[in-house]
Amino acid sequence: MAEGQQVPEEHRKELLNRGFLPLAVDHTRKSLQTAQALLDAGFPSAAFVWATRSAEIFIREALLFPLAFEETGDVRASFTEVRDLFGSGRWNLSIRRAREAYGLEGTEHEALTETGEDAFGAWTRDFVGPRGEIVHGRAEADTEMAATAIAFADRMREWFTIRIVTADTGPFAGALYQMFEQARTMYEQEQSRAREPDDPDEQPPDSAQA
Task: Determine, yes or no, domain membership for 204.
Answer: no
Among 16-20, 75-79, 195-199, the range with the most confident prediction by mean pLDDT is: 75-79
Name residues whose C-beta falls within 8 Å of residue 152's C-beta, 6 or more positions apart in sequence: 51, 55, 119, 123, 127
Task: Determine, yes or no, domain membership for 206.
Answer: no
Q: Which pLDDT tens digit goes with each residue over 115-160?
A: 888 888 888 899 988 998 999 999 999 999 999 999 999 998 888 8
d(CA 120, CA 145): 17
Task: Determine, yes or no, domain membership for 143.
Answer: yes
Q: Which pLDDT tens digit goes with each residue over 53-74?
A: 999 898 888 888 888 887 888 8
pTM higher than 0.75? no
Q: Which domain holds residue 67?
A: 9-193
Could you give the number of structural domains in the chain? 1
Mean pLDDT of the chain: 79
d(CA 87, CA 16): 23
Task: Determine, yes or no, domain membership for 3.
Answer: no
Task: Determine, yes or no, domain membership for 202.
Answer: no
One-letter amino acid of 32: L
